[in-house]
Amino acid sequence: MSILITGGAGFIGSNFVLDWFTQHDEPVINLDKLTYAGNLQNLVALQDNSNHLFVKGDISDYDLILDLLNKHQIRAIVNFAAESHVDRSIHGPEDFIQTNIVGSFRLLEATRNYWNDLSKTDQEAFRFLHVSTDEVYGSLSDTDPAFSETNRYEPSSPYSASKAASDHLVRAYHLTYNLPMLTTNCSNNYGPYHFPEKLIPLVIHNALNGKPLPIYGDGQQIRDWLYVKDHCSGIRRVLEAGRIGETYNIGGWNEMSNLDVVNTLCSILDEESPRSDGKSYSEQITFVTDRPGHDRRYAIDARKLEQELGWRPVETFDTGIRKTVRWYLDNQDWVNNITSGAYLEWVDKQYSE
């Protein structure tokens, strides 16, 4: 038997697949459409691993999914595949509707068909884990308690609205068809292989290239940062022991304002790779127009996962961000291969003013 990972050439999915093989030898079928965010370079360490099978394809392709499920006797699916960038969803929501809603629906339909034909024992052992986001819960004020699994859904962006829709479908497929579903809602991830359109890798890349470090609005928006390897261990834990039909929040217990994150990055870079003129990278900080519908604060209450399944993140923001900066400094080729062509067009569109 094997597991099917969707979106396993993206940031979190590729970290998950790489980590999987440090813990298991069970085969992984890795299905990814290879959009701008998918990158086979993330998976080069697995090129001689016969337990890793990469398939280029779309989660919306019902026939392909059903074929893969049958052919490889899949016992679990972890669904990472999504359009994931809020700013892109503001410029063009269509792809988000197609992949995050229609794609998730087709993946669920193929799974339902496959699961219905399994033996009772295999049905009971089967799991579908849907990876979602804390952004479905909307925005918190400075004094609100952190998001728990029972918070109402109040998405603000086309991205979070499309993820919310997929979460609802997952819930409905459990309650209506009895499919053995699990959902995880996590906070902002950071770490290796993070595409440099998101805040942390964008700031590292721009700093090293002498470009402005764009802060939206006043920079006082708060995010709860989770090191990607901790997120992967949380997902593995939910997959092996989570209660069917349940949702688990995964967070880093690391709330920080964007401005503090960027200043931290600048001071680590000042130590690790100082500017040639001796000045601090923080001189490159530039305040730019705020994102429309910008959520003020996200914070995750991850006590359910801790109390039920004994999971806690290993990294603090301080340890995780140092590892991350080091990774980017050591992997400039990876960054340079991405930050050409279509990436430049995106940066031009988003930051032209």
Residue 243's SS3 state is coil
Is the torsion defined by CA of 190, 192, 195, 199 positive or negative? positive
From residue 136, alpha-carbon distances to 11, 186, 190, 249 in Å are 20, 10, 19, 12
Active site residue 135: yes
Q: Which of 163, 229, 237, 297 binds ligand NAD (CB under 6 A)?
A: 163
Interface with ligand NAD includes 6 (CB under 6 A)?
yes
Tokens of 54: 């990469």
Reference 185, options 222, 138, 220, 229; nearest CA is: 138
Could you tell which of ligand NAD, ligand TYD, none binds residue 9, using a CB distance below 5 to 8 A set by kind? Answer: ligand NAD
Nearest residue (CB) to ligand NAD, 6 versus 183: 6
Report how far residue 82's alpha carbon sits from residue 165's, in angstroms, rounded to the nearest whole number: 12
DSSP string, 24-56: --S-EEEEE---TT--GGGGGGGTT-TTEEEEE
Give min distance, CB of 336 to ligand NAD, in A.
18
Give min distance, CB of 260 to ligand NAD, in A.
18
Residue 235's SS3 state is helix
Interface with ligand NAD includes 189 (CB under 6 A)?
yes
Largest CA distance in the chain: 68
Strand 127-133 relative to strand 181-186, pairing = parallel
Residue numbers 253-272 binding ligand TYD by CB under 6 A: 258
- Considering only 81-89, 137-145, 260-268, 337-345, which stretch makes contact with ligand NAD by CB under 6 A? 81-89
Residue 157's SS3 state is coil
Query: Beta strands of 38-109 (E only): which ranges?
Result: 52-56, 74-79
Nearest residue (CB) to ligand TYD, 171 versus 291: 291
Interface with ligand TYD includes 86 (CB under 6 A)?
yes
Per-residue x/- track, 87-126, ligand NAD (CB under 6 A): ------------x---x-----------------------
Length of the chain (residues): 353
Q: Which of 140, 202, 300, 302 binds ligand TYD (CB under 6 A)?
A: 202
Tokens of 335: 């960054």
Interface with ligand NAD includes 317 (CB under 6 A)?
no
Interface with ligand NAD includes 250 (CB under 6 A)?
no
Interface with ligand TYD includes 215 (CB under 6 A)?
yes
- Residues 96/98/104/105 CA torsion (nearest 10 deg): 140
Catalytic residue among 159, 190, 193, 281: 159
Catalytic residue among 32, 134, 167, 197: 134
The residue to which tokens 């792809």 are assigned: 95
Per-residue x/- track, 128-157, ligand NAD (CB under 6 A): ---x-x------------------------
> Looking at the annotation, which residues are catalytic?
134-135, 159
Residues that bind ligand NAD (CB under 6 A): 6-7, 9-13, 32-35, 37-38, 58-60, 80-84, 99, 103, 131, 133, 163, 186, 188-189, 195
